[in-house]
Amino acid sequence: MLFHSSIRKELARSFGATLVVLATVVMTMTLIRTVGEASRGTFNPTDVMIIMGYTVLSDMPTILSMSLFIAILSVLTRMYKDSEMVIWFGSGRGLSALLAPLFRFSWPILVVIAVLAFFVLPWAFGRIEDLRDRYEKRGDIARIEPGQFQESANGDRVFFIEKNSENKQTGNNVFIATNEQGKQTVTSARSGHIEIIGNDKFLVLQNGQRLERKSGKPELTVSQFEQYAARVGSDDVSARSYLPSSSLATQELLLTPNRKNQAELSWRLGLVLAAFNFIVIGLAAAGTNPRVGRSANLGFAFLIFVVYFNFLVLGKSWIESGQVQLAPFLLVLHGGALALGALWLTKRNNNWTWRRPSRRSVSGSRAT
């Protein structure tokens, strides 16, 4: 049908433009947040762009859902404003007849959202956790930054180097404070360099002094040296011990139905079900009012979207804490949203209105 084809083309243009805008906003916000986390030592600064890409990829189901909702609402609102819906209604078709072209346009987007939510989202979160874990387990030498105090991976050693070379193999004005095996030592040297002796890596210091004190004893031992070698920790290549539910595959969530896994499963299912419900809600909420302008509908749509997704987040925390169960929550939230959207659409399709009985009719009934 020509009308169906034209509305799908307009939906595609509006959806593409909205997707680009929302993706740009999310990428900017994610970049700012990731740079802040990297400055606090959570991520490697060189991995900022990679982590931003994984984060935006994990947010794509939400971005696609919102883009679809805004596209449907804006296109149908324009049709109301330009009186195209009057022609549609004049041809004997109701508002519910638009569900067919809307779902025909939306089903590929719904499939992409489902694939992202069930497969890509846990993979992206897993890669982010791997980068975070790898950065936390980096060796002592990799942690050293000129002009900054850095703590070792196990927390028993603090390093400071005033200035180092470009290859980070030599440095000047080295300071090391350790607290291990009941001894507290402070070692300082004019310079130092890295040497590999056997299978271990050592920091060889030149022209310095060493202060040593045993815990619980007041004696302090001071010694000077021309050369002193201190073994430094290497990178920990062990596998990641902590596996958050957000990085687990959907099949693992189904096979291990504990509270955390069910909460994560409710979020992934909710992304798909919410996108489906937004098609019905967008059709029911579309309209125009010359007194308030076109922006009122978009503001109302944004409010609906925020409230709906806040309930998804709250439901995830409720399921994780054991306050509600997975199946009742999905039925109440998503089934209730679909029922309300269908009822709203039916009311507008059949032009149902709520009217109070007039006083004349009431008095007339009393007189009879």
Structural tokens at position 129: 């956790």
Backbone angles phi, psi at 241, to 5 degrees: -85, -30
Lowest-confidence region among 61-75, 142-156, 302-316, 330-344: 142-156
User: Is residue 310 domain-shared with residue 282, that is, in the same domain?
Assistant: yes
3-state class (DSSP) for residue 286: coil
Q: Per-residue pLDDT tens for 322-357?
A: 899 999 999 999 999 999 989 988 887 777 766 555
Considering the domain architecture, whether residues 126 and 146 belong to the same structural domain is answered as no
Question: Is the residue at 354 inside a domain?
Answer: no
Q: Evaluate if residue 358 carries a pLDDT over 70.
A: no
* CA–CA gap between residue 337 and residue 285 (Å, rounded): 13
DSSP string, 209-239: EEEEEETT----EEEEEEEEEEEE-----PP
Name the residue with higher pLDDT: 74 or 169.
Answer: 74
Query: Is residue 97 over pLDDT 50?
Result: yes
Name the residue with higher pLDDT: 25 or 357: 25
Q: Is residue 362 part of a domain?
A: no
C-alpha torsion sign, points 128, 130, 133, 135: negative
Residues 132 and 148 in one domain: no
Read off the pLDDT band of 291 (50, 70, 90): low
Q: If residue 164 lies in a helix (H) or strand (E), which one and from where to where?
A: strand 157-164
Question: Which of 207, 232, 257 delimits the end of a domain?
Answer: 232
**CA–CA separation, 203 vs 175, rounded Å?**
11
Q: What sign for the dihedral angle of Cα 144, 145, 147, 153?
A: negative
Model pLDDT, residue 362: 46
The stretch 208-218 carries a mean pLDDT of: 80
Q: What is the pLDDT of residue 43?
A: 74
**pLDDT value of position 275:** 94
Q: Does the pLDDT of residue 252 top 50, yes or no?
A: yes
Quick check: is 363 in a domain? Answer: no
- Are 255 and 335 within one domain? yes
Q: What Cα–Cα distance (Å) separates residue 278 from each residue in 7, 282, 306, 335?
A: 17, 6, 12, 12
Q: Residues 30-45: pLDDT tens digits?
A: 889 888 887 776 777 7
Pair 88, 3: CB distance under 8 Å: yes
Q: Of the ranges 167-181, 265-279, 282-296, which one carries the lowest mean pLDDT score?
A: 282-296
Give pLDDT tens digits for 8-24. Answer: 888 899 999 999 999 99
Q: Which of the listed ranges 145-154, 205-214, 231-240, 273-282 does the model predict with the highest average pLDDT?
A: 273-282
Residues 50 and 178 in one domain: no
157 and 190 both lie in a single domain: yes
Is the pLDDT at 365 greater than 50, yes or no?
no
Evaluate whether residue 367 is within a structural domain. no
Q: Which of 118-122, 221-225, 273-277 has the lowest mean pLDDT?
A: 221-225
**Domain assignment of residue 254, given as a range:** 2-136+244-349
Please count the structural domains in the chain: 2
- Ranges 108-117, 194-203, 346-355, most confident: 108-117
Same domain flag for 157 and 272: no
**pLDDT score, position 368:** 46
Residues 86 and 207 in one domain: no
Specify whether 55 is located in the same domain as 184. no
Given this model, what pLDDT does residue 59 score?
Answer: 92
pLDDT digits (tens, 9 = 90+) for 148-169: 667 766 667 777 777 665 556 6
Choosing from 232, 256, 279, the residue where a domain stops is 232
Tell me what pLDDT residue 274 has. 94
In the structure, what pLDDT confidence band is assigned to residue 360 with cuts at 50, 70 and 90? low
Does the residue 365 lie in any domain?
Answer: no
Distance, CA of 73 to CA of 301 (rounded, Å): 8
Is 144 found in the same domain as 210? yes
Average the pLDDT over 216-222 and give the result: 77
Cα Rg of the chain, angstroms: 31
pLDDT at position 277 is 94
**Residue 257 predicted with pLDDT over 50:** yes
Residue 361 domain flag: no
Q: What is the mean pLDDT of residues 48-76?
A: 90
Whether residue 37 is contained in a domain is answered as: yes
Check whether residue 64 and residue 111 sit in a common domain: yes
Looking at the structure, tell me whether residues 113 and 251 fall in a common domain.
yes
Sheet order of strands, 170-180 included? 150-151, 157-164, 170-180, 183-197, 200-214, 221-232
Q: What is the pTM assigned to this prediction? A: 0.76
| Mean pLDDT score across all residues of the chain | 80
- The residue-averaged pLDDT of 101-105 equals 89
- Token match 């590929």: residue? 108
Domain boundary among 201, 232, 263: 232
Q: Does 29 have pLDDT greater than 80? A: yes
366 inside domain: no
Q: Does position 213 have pLDDT exceeding 70, yes or no? A: yes
